[in-house]
Amino acid sequence: MSAIIIEGRTAAAQIKADVANKAQEYTAKWNRPLGLDVILIGDNPASQVYIRTKQQACMLVGIRSNVHFLPSSTSQAEVLTLIHQLNVSPDVQGILLQLPLPLGFDAQPLINAIDPLKDVDGLHPSNLGLLLAGQPNFIPCTPQGCLKLIQLCADKIEGKNAVVIGRSLLVGKSIAALLTNASATVTLAHSKTKNLKELCQNADILVCAIGHPGLITGEFIKPGAIVIDVGISRVIDDQNNSILKGDVEFESAREIAGYLTPVPGGVGPLTVAYLLANTLLAGHLQQQQS
């Protein structure tokens, strides 16, 4: 058996096309474009690449994007001041604090300071609370992308056994909440979990958000399972090339899984597409409130 490989690009292109149309309508109706402001602190190379990708995507759908590049010597108080300025700016519909932050910063108070109606990453406690309550405004982008991919593979999610590995707010916990809301029976595994392999072998849906390249081999996978690989790590291959690798060992997993997402090209494109969709949603929510 060889798994069906589920690319995220096609679904991402459809979401972006829809956002592009609606962003144009927004601009015409309100006489200003949607604006997404990104705060990047420090010089993390992976974050710089992600931000370039997000900026290009914004440009293609007609969303104005502005990146605030701050050196890691910036103080937490200065970042807070910037967030307060962006919160009150009528030109800014979405605010994204690029994670992870350099050592010395405390991310949570900064996330808490973002206006929940501009929180396009969906990480503000109010938005996470709404997600838990099953009435989300903003769903964090990567988890939303995972759910979309699962929906493309599964006839139904209800009643399925789902194992999510990784308990970060950004990814694992939010995916677990989304799958719970969709009536799956969810196990949230993490670095302290015992018998990870046995748990995974019982999963109809397996989501890996660890950041440990190739940890999940075919042996972990239930025959026919849906396997979503969120992990992205940069590694050096046999030919001494720097490549991106997921948490799932692709070759052994594809022999067992029913559906498998590649890295790159699986979840990543949907993360970007849902950031654009959340910026559009932010614009509409703010207009409703004004």
Residues at the interface with ligand NAD (CB under 6 A): 142, 165-168, 170-172, 189-191, 193, 196, 209-212, 215, 230-233, 267-268, 271
The token pair at 219 is: 């042996």
- Beta partners for residue 64, in sequence order: 35
- What kind and span of H or E run contains 95? strand 94-97
Catalytic residue of the set 37, 93, 98, 148: 98
Catalytic residue of the set 16, 22, 54, 245: 54
Dist. CA 3–CA 25, nearest whole Å:
40
Active site residue 55: no
DSSP, collapsed to helix, strand or coil, labels residue 68 as strand
Plot region of 42 (φ>0 → left; ψ -120 to 50 → alpha; else → beta) = left
Give the pairing type, strands 233-236 and 242-245: antiparallel
Active site residue 121: yes
Catalytic residue of the set 37, 121, 204, 229: 121
DSSP codes joined into one string, 179-199: HHHTT-EEEEE-TT-SSHHHH
Q: Residues 18, 74: contact at Cβ < 8 Å?
A: no
Q: Residue 174 contacts by C-beta under 8 Å, 6 or more apart in sequence?
A: 122, 128, 131, 139, 140, 142, 143
Q: How far apart are CB 169 and ligand NAD at their closest, in Å?
A: 8
Active site residue 54: yes
Nearer to ligand NAD, 33 or 206 (CB): 206
- The DSSP symbol for 203 reads -
Nearer to ligand NAD, 26 or 257 (CB): 257
Nearer to ligand NAD, 44 or 87 (CB): 44
Q: How far apart are CB 275 and ligand NAD at their closest, in Å?
A: 10
Nearer to ligand NAD, 215 or 285 (CB): 215
Q: Residues 171, 162: contact at Cβ < 8 Å?
A: no
Q: How far apart are CB 269 and ligand NAD at their closest, in Å?
A: 8
Q: How far apart are CB 36 and ligand NAD at their closest, in Å?
A: 16
Number of alpha carbons in the 13 Å side-chain half-sphere of residue 233: 17
Q: How far apart are CB 89 and ligand NAD at their closest, in Å?
A: 27
Tell me which residue of 276, 267, 220, 242 sits closest to 20, measured CA to CA: 276
Burial (CB count <10 Å: 0-12, 13-18, 19+), residue 49:
exposed
Q: How far apart are CB 38 and ligand NAD at their closest, in Å?
A: 15
Dist. CA 201–CA 66, nearest whole Å:
45
Nearer to ligand NAD, 181 or 271 (CB): 271
Nearer to ligand NAD, 93 or 174 (CB): 174
Catalytic residue IDs: 54, 98, 121
